[in-house]
Structure 1
Amino acid sequence: MPRYYTDEHEWIEVEDDVATVGITDYAQGQLGDIVYVELPEVGALIERGKDAAVVESVKAASDVYAPITGEITEINPALEDNPALVNSSPEDEGWFFRMTIADAGELDALMDEEGYKAFIDSL
């Protein structure tokens, strides 16, 4: 499954016409201990670059932006009971939501893993 990254530190993994979205290990490391995650509603339409979720840590609250445009089809219920999953497994079990892909061309604007690592190194 292809995985892409944004310059706001979200990752998106694509399987067929569904995308799974979360925040990167780098992002969770910058935030510190995650204490609360506000997820979008299933059925919500979100546009690329717009607020999709909120993550709160002991340090700060931060928006999670939609890496592409689409409709929310599923949220990760495990985060409601255990938001610390974002810290312990940010790029696996700590995913935030799944969504449809309205325009696959939007994926072209995202970074691959190598590009994201270079981006992190430049910060």
Structure 2
Amino acid sequence: MDIIFTYAGTFSLEKELKPSTVADVAIGDVFIQGDFPGHAIIVADMVQHEKTNEKRFLLVQSYMPAQDMHVLRDPKNPLAPWYTLSPGGTLITPEWIFRARDLRHFRRTIN
């Protein structure tokens, strides 16, 4: 992550990451809007309801230069940091609004 934070901006990183879907969201995925200014947030943790399979995820972000991460508070539920998102939905964070189509993941390799 140190290398990415040092050398990549949202514009180049968005082009490098692969599109993902809300149904396939995983820890390490990134909601990103590559622009000037752009913004990115990382899925840091996840839980899934064992009966309904609803996924909730914990998001972290930093600022420029990216030096330390902090957990985002969900404006819809100020007492909990867990977010949900439906396919085609909008993700509202305290500082930025993302769309489901902004979700991307790093290239996954199989060793």
Shorter-chain TM-score tier? 0.3 to 0.5
Q: TM-score, normalised by structure 1?
A: 0.32
* Higher helix content, 1 or 2: 1
